[in-house]
Amino acid sequence: MTEVKRKRKHLSKDEREAIVREYYLEGVSKNALAKKYNSSFAAVLRTIRKFAAENDKSTLLMKNKPTDSHAEEIKALQAEILELKKKLSDETMRADFFETMVDVAEETFNIEIRKKADTGQSKGCTEKKDTE
């Protein structure tokens, strides 16, 4: 049997940048990158070595650093999260207060405020009264 060889393609600039990013930042292996981009191990190795010779890793990290607009958006979202957490805390406290208030009312006035699980809803008066 003869093996069918896959035709390897040349890597585009975007693919080479993605390979370098995935290798350094995400820790993807060279073999996995070669398979993912349908390239040879040697081509992936050359791409990584060429980048390492021309740049240092901090260059790659700087490309992924959030811009000022992203930083502002992140701060706004963090502030919104804090506000929502406070609202959730307030509503939780309100629900606890309501439960305590019902407990106290039931004890004080000897009445059942909460509906018991075994009681059915009244279906209204279904009997006809005699009007003689």
Does the reported pTM lie above 0.85? no
Tell me, yes or no, whether 126 lies in a domain: no
Q: Are residues 61 and 13 in the same domain?
A: yes
Q: Are residues 84 and 35 in the same domain?
A: no
Tell me, yes or no, whether 87 lies in a domain: yes
Tell me, yes or no, whether 74 lies in a domain: yes
Structural domain containing residue 102: 66-112
Close Cβ partners of 8 (under 8 Å, ≥ 6 residues apart): 38, 39, 40, 43
C-alpha 6/C-alpha 114 separation (Å) is: 72
Residue-wise pLDDT tens digits, 43-96 = 999 988 888 777 766 666 555 555 667 788 888 999 999 999 999 999 999 999
> Which one has a higher pLDDT value, 56 or 37?
37
Residue labelled with tokens 């407990």: 103
